[in-house]
Amino acid sequence: MSTRTNWITRAETAADIPAIRKINLGAFETAEEADLVDALRTDSAWIGDLSILSAGPDGNPVGYALLTRCHVDDTPALCLGPCAVLPEYQKTGAGSAAIRAALEAAAQAGEHFVIVLGHPSYYPRFGFTRASEYGIRLSIDVPDEALMALSLDSAQLPSGLVRYAAPFGI
Ligand SMILES: CC(C)(COP(=O)(O)OP(=O)(O)OC[C@H]1O[C@@H](n2cnc3c(N)ncnc32)[C@H](O)[C@@H]1OP(=O)(O)O)[C@@H](O)C(=O)NCCC(=O)NCCS
């Protein structure tokens, strides 16, 4: 499986919650991200339609991408992450499929802006560019290139401080 067309993508249902936890436990070294997803699920930042998984032809979820509500100063935006793929399926397109599906669902929902803190070699392929160029910043020190932003439409990205949902602890 190497292209997006091989992956089924859809929003999570209650039945997917254990599989999503397994994906995050497998993809990351600690349970921090899996716990974060579970904490976000009960937070006001949670938008159910924007918790997206990718599954192979057998229907088993292997990839995951989450968008939750954040703000840039007072402007509503979305925060992308965690993004995770079961180790044995990494680099086969499952992550990209989930991320693209999440961004498309967000655009369809009328969302404008997405922020991501992550690998600067990975997220530009989805259109993300360096957030500092728009005056977008965090309250914590991170490598400048790791904070990226995307406008889902023609709206101009706002400048300001990214305020994450409380479970992120940022
Ligand atoms: C990062 C991750 C979600 C990407 O999903 P994926 O399905 O493995 O990646 P895709 O198949 O969609 O894309 C493959 C590309 O991603 C790149 N990539 C994968 N993991 C990467 C990483 N940790 N850093 C930078 N690039 C990475 C590959 O090098 C490849 O690049 P290429 O297309 O230029 O060859 C997945 O590898 C993963 O779960 N990694 C561990 C957890 C993690 O680091 N999550 C991101 C932080 S929130």
pLDDT tens-digit readout, 86-133:
999 999 999 999 999 999 999 999 999 999 999 999 999 999 999 999
Among 129, 14, 112, smallest CA distance to 69 is for 112
What spacing in Å lies between the alpha carbon of 74 and ligand 1's midpoint? 31
Question: Which two three-digit tokens encode residue 20?
Answer: 């999503």
Q: Which amino acid is at 24?
A: N
Residue 6's pLDDT is what? 83
As a whole number of angstroms, the distance between CA 54 and CA 155 comes to 28
- Answer whether 93 contacts ligand 1 (Cβ < 6 A): yes
Return the beta strands (E) in the chain as ranges: 8-11, 51-55, 61-72, 75-85, 113-117, 129-130, 136-137, 147-151, 160-163
As a whole number of angstroms, the distance between CA 73 and CA 121 comes to 27
Query: Over the stretch 13-72, which tens digit does the pLDDT of each residue have?
Result: 999 999 999 999 999 999 999 999 999 999 999 999 999 999 999 999 999 999 999 999
* pLDDT reading at 1 higher than 80: no
Query: Over the stretch 40-50, which tens digit does the pLDDT of each residue have?
Result: 999 999 999 99
- CATH number of 8-168: 3.30.70.590, 3.40.120.10, 3.40.50.970, 3.40.630.30? 3.40.630.30
What spacing in Å lies between the alpha carbon of 142 and ligand 1's midpoint? 19
What spacing in Å lies between the alpha carbon of 113 and ligand 1's midpoint? 22
Q: Where are the domains of the chain?
A: 8-168
Q: Name the CA radius of gyration of the chain, rounded.
A: 15
3-class secondary-structure state, position 48: helix
What spacing in Å lies between the alpha carbon of 66 and ligand 1's midpoint? 15
- Answer whether 27 contacts ligand 1 (Cβ < 6 A): yes
